[in-house]
Chain A
Amino acid sequence: MKLKTKDKLGKNKPLPSSKITKVEEENLFAFIPNRKKPLLRNKTIVVGCGRLGASIANKGNKDGKNVLVVDNNKNAFELLDDTFSGYTIVGDVLDYKTLENAYITSAKEIIITTGNDNINIFLALLCRNIYQVPNIYVRLDDPNMSVLLENKDIEIILPFKLSFDMLEKIRTEGGNK
């Protein structure tokens, strides 16, 4: 792939002329995420292959999108359709290298639906601030946590709120008499 650049460590870049910037580039442990601007953003990444994640991946695949699914458990991919033709990646999403293997640098949208709110929040902020993914969708179980992601151009889906609203709506409309 063209997008996998060799100079992850910044070694192939031409050396800057001034000395001060040189020092900053010579960081000993260059665990630096890949920030090169991608040629195109066309991937849909689904993180967490639970019921919701798998359904979204299946739907995206049917719609002809370029779907990648990431999960740390290999067995989770059983929820995907037999006809699913996208990539599946096994790995710990807390390590940014897994995300880079999933071509996060060329992602158009990322849907984060792991079962752990903390991982979801961390990933959302990582994608927003470092990889600058244009569309980020996050599922959060705990509505209190959504304050951390407000005003950051991140779409938050709260299953609790959705079911609460729905229930209230059905009840006010009558329901079982």
Chain B
Amino acid sequence: MKIVICDGHNEADYIIKMFKKKENTLIVINNDKNYASYLSKTHRIPVIYGDSYKKNILEEANIYNADVLIALNETNDANQFVICTLAKSLFNVKKVICTVKNPNNVDLFKELGVDSPISSSYLLGNSVRAESSVESLIKSMTLDDNKISMVEVTVSENFAICNRKIMEINFPKFANISCIYRKPNVIIPNGQTIILPKDKLLIVSAPIDQKKVIEYVSRTKEV
């Protein structure tokens, strides 16, 4: 793979370490002169010093037909955008990844042709929301840009579904129990599987149905 890494300090260092293998060609561009020399000394690779949003610097670095370009300078979103667009439109780079300062720009960048814009606050917000929106028993996560949601529910004894076969409980059609974790085993359930207390159910559904699923599962037994 031909990988281009633009700017960034510790992040660049880390990524170079990760991808420094024989099969990868690394091209490193950095706009900090001292850090550029540090990178080239520690990793023993050529580092180009310059602003990577300039066409001539990218030409000099010969990034034509690279597989991935990673832009790590988080200070200015416009610079990041220009690096990505230049790489895509003029240098035929297959995939561009950039860090974004303003989380609002993530969706805009995606629409304007950047493959994966990454914002730390966007990711943080996502995970905070996933952790806090539901009860303490239940953890949830989402896959593929929030189109699929996975909920983890720990069954307690007072749940209505406890100690019953899955085929008996009339599970809603919009969701599916994809797996049950019963220490120390992982069970792929079928209709005959009995749900026991302290089981962890992993339920897959659409995000819009997530609340309904949680409501359904955590109904308590009618007294």
> Which residues of A come within 8 Å of B, CB atoms?
19, 22-24, 26-29, 31-33, 94-97, 116-119, 121-122, 125-126, 129-130, 142, 144-145, 147-148
How far is it, in angstroms, between the C-alpha of A45 and the C-alpha of B107 when the chains are bound?
24
Contacts of A31 in B (CB 8 A): 103-104, 106-107
How far is it, in angstroms, between the C-alpha of A19 and the C-alpha of B78 when the chains are bound?
37
Whether A23 touches B147, Cβ cut-off 8 Å, given contacts A32-B107, A94-B102, is: yes
Interface of chain B residues 35 through 92 with chain A (CB within 8 A): 53-56, 76-79, 81-82, 85-86, 89-90
A145 contacts B55, CB within 8 Å? yes
Contacts of A97 in B (CB 8 A): 104
Contacts of B104 in A (CB 8 A): 31, 95-97
In the complex formed, the residue of A with least CB distance to B174 is A19
Chain A interface mostly: helix
Partner of B81, one of A26, A29, A122: A122
How far is it, in angstroms, between the C-alpha of A29 and the C-alpha of B145 when the chains are bound?
10
B129 contacts A122, CB within 8 Å? no
Contacts of A145 in B (CB 8 A): 55, 82
Partner of A33, one of B106, B108, B206: B108
The answer to whether B112 has its CB under 8 Å from any CB of chain A is: yes
How far is it, in angstroms, between the C-alpha of A19 and the C-alpha of B56 when the chains are bound?
49
Whether A147 touches B103, Cβ cut-off 8 Å, given contacts A29-B125, A121-B81, A126-B108, is: no
With an 8 Å Cβ cutoff, the count of chain B residues facing the other chain is 34
How far is it, in angstroms, between the C-alpha of A16 and the C-alpha of B112 when the chains are bound?
26
B146 contacts A148, CB within 8 Å? no
B78 contacts A118, CB within 8 Å? yes
How far is it, in angstroms, between the C-alpha of A125 and the C-alpha of B105 when the chains are bound?
13
In the complex formed, the residue of A with least CB distance to B81 is A122
Could you name 23 residue pairs across A and B whose Cβ atoms are closer than 8 Å?
A26-B146, A27-B145, A27-B146, A28-B142, A28-B146, A31-B104, A32-B107, A94-B78, A96-B104, A97-B104, A117-B82, A118-B53, A118-B78, A118-B79, A121-B78, A122-B77, A122-B78, A125-B112, A130-B112, A144-B54, A147-B89, A148-B85, A148-B89
Q: How far is the CB of B132 from chain A (nearest CB, A)?
A: 13
The answer to whether B163 has its CB under 8 Å from any CB of chain A is: no
The answer to whether B208 has its CB under 8 Å from any CB of chain A is: yes
Contacts of A144 in B (CB 8 A): 54-56
How far is it, in angstroms, between the C-alpha of A144 and the C-alpha of B86 when the chains are bound?
11
The answer to whether B222 has its CB under 8 Å from any CB of chain A is: no
In the complex formed, the residue of B with least CB distance to A23 is B206
The answer to whether B122 has its CB under 8 Å from any CB of chain A is: yes
Q: How far is the CB of A138 from chain B (nearest CB, A)?
A: 13
How far is it, in angstroms, between the C-alpha of A144 and the C-alpha of B142 when the chains are bound?
42
How far is it, in angstroms, between the C-alpha of A116 and the C-alpha of B79 when the chains are bound?
9
How far is it, in angstroms, between the C-alpha of A54 and the C-alpha of B79 when the chains are bound?
25
The answer to whether B126 has its CB under 8 Å from any CB of chain A is: yes
Q: How far is the CB of B75 from chain A (nearest CB, A)?
A: 11
A95 contacts B102, CB within 8 Å? yes
How far is it, in angstroms, between the C-alpha of A119 and the C-alpha of B76 when the chains are bound?
9
Of the candidates B81, B125, B129, B207, the one having the most CB atoms from chain A within 10 angstroms of its own CB is B81
How far is it, in angstroms, between the C-alpha of A144 and the C-alpha of B56 when the chains are bound?
9
Partner of A26, one of B54, B122, B208: B208
How far is it, in angstroms, between the C-alpha of A144 and the C-alpha of B107 when the chains are bound?
28
A129 contacts B103, CB within 8 Å? no
